[in-house]
Structure 1
């Protein structure tokens, strides 16, 4: 395997000149640069990433930890993170904990041992054990998605769930709906709490009653939507519309509605949250609140890399605004 000394010898220049050409750290004349590049190509030389990392104290690698989740929202965020890392010249090491706290701890330790420059954490659930792991002294900066402890070592990026829930509920109201229910997510999660609160705020501000029997707590999965639809169907009266706090539960509701003979949107209007890719292919196509997953992923990566270059100490809280995507699952009662 060729070394930097072999390149320098073939090009007739010093090893420092080769280094400057490869790392673009100092001006080198076009003539010498061309000689070096020709020698690199002829010898098929590949710089040692290990040696470079020891010299500059950076590996240009990031680690990402993802807990197990069947929600395609997570896969779309991971795809965006991978893309942004590539655009910024970084390699991403991806680990899946499958909900195992011991595996999460082992992965965190392994990523730090690999000298990753920073960590990104995307977790579908939060508990005291996970928070304790994150709050423990870490040698690298951390960005978490959606949740996270208030810590100098942690940046947090999340969507404005309160605003998105208000937007969804007020959209239903603008379409003439007054009997509106809410399929909430697990109330131990920040996003789920804010979405339920946003629904309540929009209803109260418009002077509409919030009926407890039309509020159902789900699990953020399709199964939760199936169970919620079955529960609502068993009531004396269905609401005319429901705000469902994520798309997976909304998709579960649409599936169960077909089985029960409930027509969407004629009998029940449904609006979701997240705008996952498959939501446009449901029948009817799901009206939903769009989380800008590509922007969230890109800003998470950029925040981490910028922190590395600026040596910033304090943690940031970055909020991204959602928007409405109108499709076919909500009827207009004002027509």
Structure 2
């Protein structure tokens, strides 16, 4: 039997069970008695508690499937991790960082719980729904970063992806564009899928024609080579405007279109998402929806701190909206 099973039987959160069996603070005496009674009735064996320490310890786990969303996005995730590290230093928390993939994730999470930290931060950009079940292995406060984990009562900090895709499309429409394509990653990632849903929603509201998305690998070289192929075989002809899943895809696609003789923004306007540093120095500089990485990192640490202090609060889902940064890759139609 696990802490989560005890929590379900007692009708409380796993964090509340952990507090009760470790004689911690943060729950009422009545709740504590109720939980301990359920523990006793089910002959639950309380696991060994970690050694006491003056400093709190968090574990940050980067889940990698293909690496395109985490490692190939030109430092976007790295800058969020930098902010998480800065916040942990500010509060005198120790931060341990671990990488895992689909094959090693279960063992990684089990090993973490052998010596449980105060909290776990999971960067789940590339995690798909089929892997969500293994999150039950974590019985300490956990915050999921960059994946909404819909329909689960778990704390998350994400970008407002549908809102971002919607607003990017609306921006191009307000420039006078009516032929608006979508450059989409060829690998499934929840945040990109949600951005595409925002694009589709606005296109339908505007009663504009929707073409199949242009599928591109989510790396600079991959998007460049994929776009070159589509231009050479005639499956895509640049015109009007395009929303890209992220800046990396946008920059790779623009380079291929320019080499094929198309001009940006004269022939096609392009807007990306993220505002990676490289986008500001491309020719032309890339219009984008900026995502505030400092906010994402700061909120992640703040949410896990709140969860430790208030284990019985309901799950919290925090969304950070995008900010339009207008540069040279878009213009009036």
TM-score (norm 1): 0.74
Match of 1:60 in 2: 56
Match of 1:269 in 2: 269
Q: CA deviation at 1:224?
A: 4.6
Structure with the bigger percentage of helix: 1
Q: Does residue 103 in structure 1 map to residue 104 in structure 2?
A: yes
Matches of 1:322 and 1:225, distance apart in 2: 23
Query: 1:256-302 deviations in whole A, cap 9, x for unaligned?
Result: 12322222112221100111222212221110011121111111111
SS in 1 for 2:104: helix
Question: How many pairs align?
Answer: 274
Match of 1:33 in 2: none
Match of 2:89 in 1: 86
Q: CA deviation at 1:228?
A: 3.5
Q: CA deviation at 1:155?
A: 0.8
Q: 1:59 touches 1:115 (CA, 8 Å); kept in 2?
A: no
Larger Rg: 1
Query: 1:196-226 deviations in whole A, cap 9, x for unaligned?
Result: 12112222322322233xx223343224522
Please identify runs of 4+ aligned residues in structure 1 that moved more than 6 A: none
Matches of 1:108 and 1:149, distance apart in 2: 21
Matches of 2:123 and 2:331, distance apart in 1: 35
Matches of 1:165 and 1:149, distance apart in 2: 18
Distance 1:317 1:128, change over 3 A: closer
Matches of 2:236 and 2:277, distance apart in 1: 35
Query: 1:61-88 deviations in whole A, cap 9, x for unaligned?
Result: 1111112422222112111211111122
Matches of 2:217 and 2:313, distance apart in 1: 36
Q: CA deviation at 1:327?
A: 1.1
TM-score (norm 2): 0.75
Task: List runs of 5+ in structure 1 lacking aligned partners.
Answer: 1-52
